[in-house]
Structure 1
Amino acid sequence: MRTETERHSPSNVPTAAGEAPHTSLTATAPGQIRVIKRNGTLVSYDDSKIAVAMTKAFLAVEGGTAAASSRIHETVQQLVEQISATFHRRMPSGGTIHIEEIQDQVELALMRGGEHKVARDYVLYREEHARLRAQSQAPVEPHPSIRVKKSDGSLEPLDMARLQVIIDEACAGLRDVDGALIREEALKNLYDGVSPDDINTALVITARTLVEKEPDYTFATARLLLDKLRAEALTYLEVAETATAAEMKSRYAEALPAYIEKGIALELLDPALAQFDIERLGEALDAERDAQFTYLGLQTLYDRYFLHDNDTRIELPQIFFMRVAMGLALNEDDINARAIEFYNLLSSFDYMSSTPTLFNAGTLRPQLSSCYLTSIPDNLHGIYGAMQDNAMLSKWAGGLGNDWTPVRALGAYIKGTNGKSQGVVPFLKVANDTAVAVNQGGKRKGAVCAYLETWHLDIEEFLELRKNTGDDRRRTHDMNTANWVPDLFMKRVFEDAEWTLFSPSDVPELHDLFGTEFEEKYTQYEQLAAAGKLKLHKKVRAADLWRRMLGMLFETGHPWITFKDSCNLRSPQQHAGVIHSSNLCTEITLNTRAGDEIAVCNLGSVNLAQHVAEGELDLDKLRTTVTTAVRMLDNVIDINYYSVDTARQSNLRHRPVGLGLMGFQDALYKMDIAYSNNQAVEFADRSMEAISYYAIEASSALAGERGSYSSFEGSLWSKGILPIDSIELLAEHRGHQYIDQDRSQTLDWDSLRDRVRDNGMRNSNVMAIAPTATIANITGVSQSIEPTYQNLYVKSNLSGEFTVVNPFLVHELKALGLWDQVMVNDLKYYEGSVQKIDRIPDALKAKYATAFEVEPRWIVDAASRRQKWLDQAQSLNLYIAGADGRKLDLTYRMAWYRGLKTTYYLRALAATTTEKSTIDTGALNAVSANGSATQAGPAAVPQACSLDDPDCEACQ
């Protein structure tokens, strides 16, 4: 097969021996992309030549019949558009790419498009021509001909010795990473007059293309990126023009005081940071910890977290962690010792604060809290006041959960105007548009979730808010939605009974009632309606409404299903109010009240994988981590900037925090346990029990040091009722026949109950498991409690495209002698699944089953075991392959029956998609706009929770 992809010049003849290998050109014009040919010359990018080459590749495989030609033309056009879009997305301001990278993209596009025969021939063609070039060309030593263009316009020879040092440092200690390969491939991308930035870009691009063959190249790529970051920050801070990794052991201590001084002068940092012993803190910075970043993790920090001045980064990784630590230690008695303690926890990746804390700690506006919950009142002034609160909270990077149940339904009487209400939906449209208009500090999209109780008369229209059809004025395409489901509704579903919908203006008590009190009052209202004393109501079959809820969830990804009674009956704070909704990501369950109670939660997550050593959970290390983490979270409450006074008052009154976890799947790998296994369920139980025990213990110890939160008396804590004990309260109200939740325990909970009664609690709530989408990327572990999405896939986000490979799988396959290019191609073909690759042993197939290959019951059972220890909830995605109505019904009934408080996204693949998905959307892991891979067609391919869609990042 013949291809002409490399014909981006008048001739495609390889450079002959003796030809000048590089041609000096002026800088690339803004927006223009140029191609570096194999002989080093630069030519303009021309996608028509890619089209010609791909067409010939197809013809060589499929022949030139009229029918084939028509399909080929259409397919090639689509693929070329995808390839060009990739380059323009990567380089919106222009740049240079090597001819080999274009051919890599052609190969990838063919694989993604399902054109595997063409792709195979194309790969063979490239390999053969590479061999022929190697035979015909004499080795060319490029460095005498490559000069670097400095900022003043002068040219100097490329410093090959320093280049080698940077590459050697990047590869140090990494298995199967070839520094010589990075060097030689990167040199192909350099040309005379190249800028220092472009040298670094060539190194980074070269290393990252090798990640799919060896996962450790992700660390090498990150270390190469660090060279650029060091030059950028150190030059700005006037410490040095550049530095190697070895030199940073002393440079960090020099850079920190310069950073603090300049950051304060630029009004980026809180002047209070100057009170620290900067020299002592500088000595505590550990430069070696820079080496633990993956490429995705460091690039994410660089693009979105590091403070900058006019787009010049002034932070380095360890300075970044120290800034956050200092910001969280401001109110401590020994601020320097605590800052170092907090720094060590963050920089070791044992624990990570949530995104708002990382964004804003130590700055002039330290909005450190992750999420806010509000109740919307049933009056125009209150509704628009809540909109303003939403806007202010969103501005400072808070995710929002709004309880809309009090707002009267469509057709309800309005006394003031003697008219009829338009219902809740028009106001939801305004809330949707507010979230779009006010993004989170210019750093990410505004994000909000609207909650409505299942008895609300507008619930049927609420279910359709995310549909792409119907009146767009009554749609909210950018806002998340969730059902707030009472137990009585679920009982009616089980019993196949009727359900009555009301306007809250007619049944005002229902909003604040739960458990048996709700059931009694609801039944009374049904009797009044049956007697004709409540005109505005509607009877439906509960099972029919349940099916519509599940159908919309499958079709649009919304509304999520959350359970009102389990949230309230197991709440430690039920004496002080009512939980009316969860938050943006369904893990926070705190009281709200319209007008005077905006709930606030402050999040952070233990990296569980960092606490597994030699196949066992290290309980001593976990206790140390949790103790410090709870202290950091409690500090957030006092340091936090509150843009809304009501939120401040509520947060200081109850002091809730949400300690969660991430890296659960990585921990299982390290313990040699498959996710679909009773051992995994048991590990979920025991690990969460330990975190719960240590978190409650730490909060109680803080109460002894700092005092209990003000509303402690009357709480379940004050009565010696811990989260594990509150399951009985739920069972008593719901009925024991409607709950099946394990209650086994292994630690000394009796002594802890006594301590809590004696010391009190510093925090009304202590635990919640958030999605950790971003901070898991930063620390390089699996998200939250999720099973592995795929073992090999491409992740796209604002920072670019990243190849993600499961390093645990690769290292095991290497040990068995099974890791080679054929295995890479097989994983691509089977979209990251190992199940159909015959030569992989069955034990590994079980261990490395991906999210859609794990039966939902294992996810629910593990979640149930965690839920018994949590005083709040968990952000639980459900993955269902071969989804149909029966499977959805069974899974969500089971979630309720097992005692879960909430569920989050449904990741469902219809039965027609599970055999083998093909891709014709132009993007690997294509997904619908709402973030859930639920389309029942052949193009439906699952996507991992990304930085930008869905908006779970608003939590972490």
Structure 2
Amino acid sequence: MRQVVNRAGIRENLDITKIREKLQRACEGLEVNMVELESHIESIYQENITTKKIQESLINQAVAMTSFDESDWTYVAGRLLMMETEREVFHKRGFSYGKFFESIKKLVELGIYDDRLLNYSEEEVLELQKAIDTSRDMMYDYAGANMFVNRYLLKYKGDIFELPQEVFMCIAMLLAINEEDKVEVAKRFYEALSLKKVSLATPILANLRLPNGNLSSCFITAMDDNIESIFYNVDTVAKISKNGGGVGLNISRVRAKNSMVNGYYNASGGVVPWIKIINDTAVAVNQQGRRAGAVTVALDSWHLDIEHFLELQTENGDQRGKAYDIYPQVVLSDMFMRRVEEDRTWTLVDPYEIRKKYEVELCEIYGEQFEELYLKIEADDNLNLKKVIKAREL
């Protein structure tokens, strides 16, 4: 009799029946031939192979069998991964679904869960447990299941310690915690989340049930045109990313390349060097190890550095002026779009020079006020840094 090593490290006889039962559950209702996957068990088997390795091999085989014509294999792989995760959690923490109150208590004691979850009484948690539908773990294809398991399920000492439907219910409980009838509201939240009627932002899905977790996912800030503000924003971006948030940073106030610094002309390096630092900060400080830092950097279309900005992620040119890990965005005005439509010129200027001469921060005004000032700037022949180009070319 062929033998395998189970999760407890004990040798036991290979039980094909158990494997077949899992495959039947994974293939139920899908347009796949289970026998095709089952036939690979023989090739997978090796002496002293672990049951976990057999399951992983079957998942990989299902992924390999996925094609345009037989796309349901990706759901087979996703279901097998969810089943494997449930078995793994059961082995590590001693229980699976069905002991939701015990799960909350244990994870709070380990410092994994926010202790506010214990604001719900045991009776309330048992009532919520009845609403948990474990069959919804079977709704994911492989890509979705793999992301859920590896990015969002919380771990203890490197081992996954919670289950997908527990994630949704715990988030629902925290969202409903201040409601008068919090149990019923939590049930409604759970239904919406677990049935994918609502898609949560990554920081919420990853952070909310953690101690001191929060609902904030995206943060907007702006960089002023001085060293203190620039490095304050670098520090801010790092801290937000460290705590799982994404950042939108407006950099339009920063003076353009060749602008004046401390009375010296042509001293400024423009916005690109600062964007490079932000780019490297996003790489260095990821979102709690779950994904890379997410930073979008915005520049107005009238800024003199806009052409260099638009080349931040092209592959040609000086690589020292590239930033491939941020998301560039351009702030456009109605006036610019009319110039494009009418095939007219557009004027690029230095925000520092405009600030000194007109005592206004150009990126802070809009509408009629912006258009009135912008026309004055275009007519001003005494500006040192100014470039006129075709709007369509830009």
Q: Is 2:71 the counterpart of 1:215? A: yes
**What letter corresponds to residue 244 of structure 2 in structure 1?**
A
Distance 1:222 1:418 in 2: 61
Q: Secondary structure at the match of 1:180?
A: helix
Contact 1:210/1:217 (CA < 8 Å) preserved in 2? Answer: yes
Distance 1:283 1:265 in 2: 23
Contact 2:3/2:12 (CA < 8 Å) preserved in 1? Answer: yes
Q: Alpha carbons of 1:507 and 1:222: their partners in 2 closer, same or farther (altered >3 Å)?
A: same
Equivalent residue number for residue 81 of structure 2: 225
Equivalent residue number for residue 159 of structure 1: 15
- Which of 289, 296, 300 is the aligned partner of 1:442? 289
Distance 1:429 1:206 in 2: 42
Distance 2:201 2:288 in 1: 15
Equivalent residue number for residue 171 of structure 1: 27
Distance 1:302 1:294 in 2: 12
Equivalent residue number for residue 258 of structure 1: 102
Gapped runs of 5+ residues in structure 1? 1-143, 240-250, 550-956
Q: 1:324 deviation in Å?
A: 1.8
CA offsets 1:719-758 (integer angstroms, 9 cap, x no match): xxxxxxxxxxxxxxxxxxxxxxxxxxxxxxxxxxxxxxxx
Q: Alpha carbons of 1:304 and 1:177: their partners in 2 closer, same or farther (altered >3 Å)?
A: same
Contact 1:465/1:474 (CA < 8 Å) preserved in 2? Answer: yes
Q: Secondary structure at the match of 1:148?
A: strand
Q: Is 2:349 the counterpart of 1:502? A: yes
Contact 1:409/1:504 (CA < 8 Å) preserved in 2? Answer: yes
Q: Alpha carbons of 1:181 and 1:494: their partners in 2 closer, same or farther (altered >3 Å)?
A: closer
Distance 1:331 1:167 in 2: 43
Q: Is 2:165 the counterpart of 1:310? A: no
Distance 1:291 1:356 in 2: 24
**What letter corresponds to residue 536 of structure 1 in structure 2?**
L
CA offsets 1:438-484 (integer angstroms, 9 cap, x no match): 11111111121221112112222222222334443332232222221
Contact 1:147/1:192 (CA < 8 Å) preserved in 2? Answer: yes
Q: 1:514 deviation in Å?
A: 1.5
1:165-314 paired onto structure 2 within 5 Å: 165-174=21-30, 176-212=31-67, 213-239=69-95, 252-254=97-99, 256-276=100-120, 277-314=124-161
| Number of positions where the alignment pairs a residue of Structure 1 with one of Structure 2 | 385
Contact 2:257/2:266 (CA < 8 Å) preserved in 1? Answer: no
Q: Secondary structure at the match of 1:156?
A: strand
Contact 1:390/1:400 (CA < 8 Å) preserved in 2? Answer: yes
Q: Secondary structure at the match of 2:74?
A: helix
Distance 2:211 2:299 in 1: 37
Q: 1:189 deviation in Å?
A: 1.0
Q: Secondary structure at the match of 2:65?
A: coil
Q: Is 2:372 the counterpart of 1:516? A: no
Distance 1:345 1:183 in 2: 35
Q: Alpha carbons of 1:154 and 1:232: their partners in 2 closer, same or farther (altered >3 Å)?
A: closer
**What letter corresponds to residue 516 of structure 1 in structure 2?**
E
**What letter corresponds to residue 385 of structure 1 in structure 2?**
Y
Distance 2:340 2:221 in 1: 29
CA offsets 1:53-102 (integer angstroms, 9 cap, x no match): xxxxxxxxxxxxxxxxxxxxxxxxxxxxxxxxxxxxxxxxxxxxxxxxxx
Q: Alpha carbons of 1:445 and 1:342: their partners in 2 closer, same or farther (altered >3 Å)?
A: same
Q: Secondary structure at the match of 1:422?
A: coil
- Which of 332, 339, 350 is the aligned partner of 2:186? 339
Distance 1:158 1:391 in 2: 51
Equivalent residue number for residue 364 of structure 1: 211
Q: 1:374 deviation in Å?
A: 1.4
Larger RCO (alpha carbons 8 Å, 6+ apart): 1
Distance 2:29 2:205 in 1: 29
Q: Alpha carbons of 1:473 and 1:185: their partners in 2 closer, same or farther (altered >3 Å)?
A: closer
**What letter corresponds to residue 106 of structure 2 in structure 1?**
K
Q: Secondary structure at the match of 1:234?
A: helix
Q: Secondary structure at the match of 2:296?
A: strand
**What letter corresponds to residue 188 of structure 1 in structure 2?**
S
**What letter corresponds to residue 475 of structure 1 in structure 2?**
K
Q: 1:343 deviation in Å?
A: 0.8
Q: Is 2:382 the counterpart of 1:537? A: no
CA offsets 1:471-502 (integer angstroms, 9 cap, x no match): 43332232222221222223233333332221
Q: Alpha carbons of 1:325 and 1:493: their partners in 2 closer, same or farther (altered >3 Å)?
A: same
Equivalent residue number for residue 275 of structure 2: 428
Q: Alpha carbons of 1:279 and 1:416: their partners in 2 closer, same or farther (altered >3 Å)?
A: farther
- Which of 298, 304, 312 is the aligned partner of 1:457? 304
Contact 2:82/2:138 (CA < 8 Å) preserved in 1? Answer: no
Give the structure-2-normalised TM-score: 0.90
Equivalent residue number for residue 408 of structure 1: 255
Q: Secondary structure at the match of 1:207?
A: helix
**What letter corresponds to residue 199 of structure 1 in structure 2?**
I
Equivalent residue number for residue 167 of structure 2: 320
Q: Secondary structure at the match of 2:353?
A: coil
Contact 1:190/1:202 (CA < 8 Å) preserved in 2? Answer: no
Q: Percent identity?
A: 35
Q: Secondary structure at the match of 1:352?
A: coil
Distance 1:438 1:275 in 2: 34
1:51-70 paired onto structure 2 within 5 Å: none
Q: 1:417 deviation in Å?
A: 7.3
Q: Secondary structure at the match of 1:452?
A: strand
Q: Is 2:6 the counterpart of 1:147? A: no
Which stretch shifts more, 459-468 or 290-299? 459-468
Equivalent residue number for residue 26 of structure 1: none
**What letter corresponds to residue 456 of structure 1 in structure 2?**
H
Contact 1:387/1:434 (CA < 8 Å) preserved in 2? Answer: yes
Give the structure-1-normalised TM-score: 0.39
Q: Secondary structure at the match of 2:249?
A: strand
CA RMSD after TM alignment: 2.2
Distance 2:142 2:170 in 1: 22
Equivalent residue number for residue 245 of structure 2: 398
**What letter corresponds to residue 168 of structure 1 in structure 2?**
Q
